[in-house]
Amino acid sequence: MRADIRGLQAYPVAHAEGCIKLDAMECPYPLPPALRDAVAAAIAHSDLTRYPGDNAALRARVRQAFDVPEAAGLVFGNGSDELIHLLVQACCAPGDVVLSPWPSFVYFDMAARFDHARFVGVPLTPALELDLPALLDAIAREQPRLVFLALPNNPTGGLWSDDAVRAVLAAAPGLVVVDEAYQPFAGHTWMPEVLAHPNLVVLRTVSKIGLAGLRFGYLASHPAWTAELDKVRPPYNIGVHTQAALDVLLAHKDVLDDMAARLRADREPLARALAALPGVTVFPSSGNFLLLRTDRGADAVQAALAGRRILVRNVSRFHPLLTDCLRVSIGAPDENAALLAALTDILSA
């Protein structure tokens, strides 16, 4: 085993049975029974004896459901994580730079390490905003092959301005990947401009809109780029069950949109309620989660919540800017109420 791999830790997945799960930005709402039955029927008729087909029908469905320009190329992945890995693999020789504002999605760094690229994280401001001058200086100095911009950013929730993104697109010598995993909660997208900028890639997932179990992501860009990425994509990486389920589900995307709208509506009331708790600071978020800082210590508060079977994500060790920070998914109303009741008790003790 490589020494750098031995020095890493595997991505942790908490045991969640019987818990209120607010640690992974999943959608808390179940699919309607009739839609679940339709998906089950479609899966039951999948041919497991053959490899998946050419995805032509799924491509058409994805273009229609998510307003992908007809002339843009598409690449599908087993979640957006696989597509991040493919981008690094296709673009970077050993030692080439992958760059991102930091802290951000941990897999940007991990994928770079796995493929022998060098990751450069450009720190956010103390208020967890984008430091555009520092980012542009780093781009000029490091000449990255890839720049990843998570919009909104995970785990901070920030949504960088259009002017800032355009400045990065103009300055970057390589591809700029706008990761829109949380786009349904932000009300903003770069997808309509995906062909207007020669180095723009838009990356998305269906995991946050109620379909995390399918592990499906998609990438849109100029066809010249997607043709190259297809060369390193594992063959048959989207299984027949995923394709069958998406064929049904994307025909009913209004159901997924409604669930996202409910989470958007609950975000600000939950943020205000959390900010009213003693010693809690809540950062602005455009995602389906909130980042909060507690003066009681993130470790102690997370442990106390876990003792009440409420799971949240402790990000305090991820970066010094996140000291004593917890990331909390927006849950269903009863889950949000349970979280607030537990925190009120814990923080007043």
| C-alpha span between 77 and 207 (Å, rounded) | 12
Q: What is the pLDDT of residues 222-279, one digit of tens each?
A: 999 999 999 999 999 999 999 999 999 999 999 999 999 999 999 999 999 999 999 9
The pTM of the full predicted model, rounded to 2 decimals, is 0.95
11-30+254-348 and 33-252 share one CATH topology?
A: no
Q: What is the pLDDT of residues 42-59, one digit of tens each?
A: 999 999 999 998 889 999
Domain 11-30+254-348: CATH class, spelled out = alpha beta
Span 33-252 CATH architecture: 3-Layer(aba) Sandwich (3.40)
Q: Which of 297, 248, 311 is nearest to 41 (CA)?
A: 248
| C-alpha span between 278 and 259 (Å, rounded) | 31
E runs forming strands in the chain: 20-21, 73-77, 97-102, 118-123, 146-150, 175-179, 200-205, 217-221, 280-282, 289-294, 310-311, 313-314, 325-329
> Residue 11: what pLDDT?
79
| Element spanning 318, H or E | none
3-state SS class at 310 = strand
Query: Residue ranges per domain, the chain?
Result: 11-30+254-348, 33-252
DSSP state at residue 31: P
Q: Is the pLDDT of residue 342 over 90?
A: yes
Q: Left if phi > 0, otherwise alpha if psi is -120 to 50, otherwise beta: which for 187?
A: left
Q: What is the pLDDT of residues 280-326, one digit of tens each?
A: 999 999 999 999 999 999 999 999 999 999 999 999 999 999 999 99
The two tokens of residue 319 are: 């970066």
| C-alpha span between 258 and 248 (Å, rounded) | 16
pLDDT class for 13, splitting at 50, 70, 90? Answer: confident
| Element spanning 239, H or E | none
